[in-house]
């Protein structure tokens, strides 16, 4: 697994699973890392939802206008079309896994 830049241009990710030629609704499973104070800007997805599982660090995940303070072992589901953003608010890296699910 090699580390690559995210589609958001911030942080890095390791792709753990990538849907190729199968009928799975699971598009991708990736481990992401945001360094101290890095943020993924507000965005949404038209045809996929995301399931976040936090492994390490502390973050602030905003979905629409509701803010969640997350840390290790927390899980948040973001449905398609919901605007969301994520910021590392801790002193260490924020590490998390995202399951990208086609809807």
Q: What is the pLDDT of residues 36-84, one digit of tens each?
A: 999 999 999 999 999 999 999 999 999 999 999 999 999 999 999 999 9
Question: Strand ranges (DSSP E) for the chain?
Answer: 3-5, 12-18, 26-34, 39-43, 48-56, 58-63, 66-71, 75-78, 84-88, 94-102
Top CATH class, 3-35+44-102: mainly beta
Among left, alpha and beta (phi > 0; psi -120 to 50; other), residue 37 is left
| pTM for this prediction | 0.85
Question: Are 12 and 4 spatial neighbours (Cβ–Cβ below 8 Å)?
Answer: yes
Per the listing, tokens 């809807």 go with 103
């Amino acid at each position: 697994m090699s580390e690559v830049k995210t589609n958001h241009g911030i942080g890095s990710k390791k792709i753990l699973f990538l849907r190729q030629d199968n009928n799975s609704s699971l598009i991708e499973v990736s481990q992401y890392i945001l360094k101290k104070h890095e943020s993924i800007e507000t965005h949404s997805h038209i045809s996929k939802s995301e399931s976040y599982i936090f492994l390490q660090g502390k973050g602030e995940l905003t979905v629409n206008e509701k803010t969640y303070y997350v840390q290790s072992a927390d899980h948040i589901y973001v449905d398609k079309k919901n605007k969301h953003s994520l910021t590392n608010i801790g002193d260490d890296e924020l590490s998390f896994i995202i399951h990208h699910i086609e809807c």
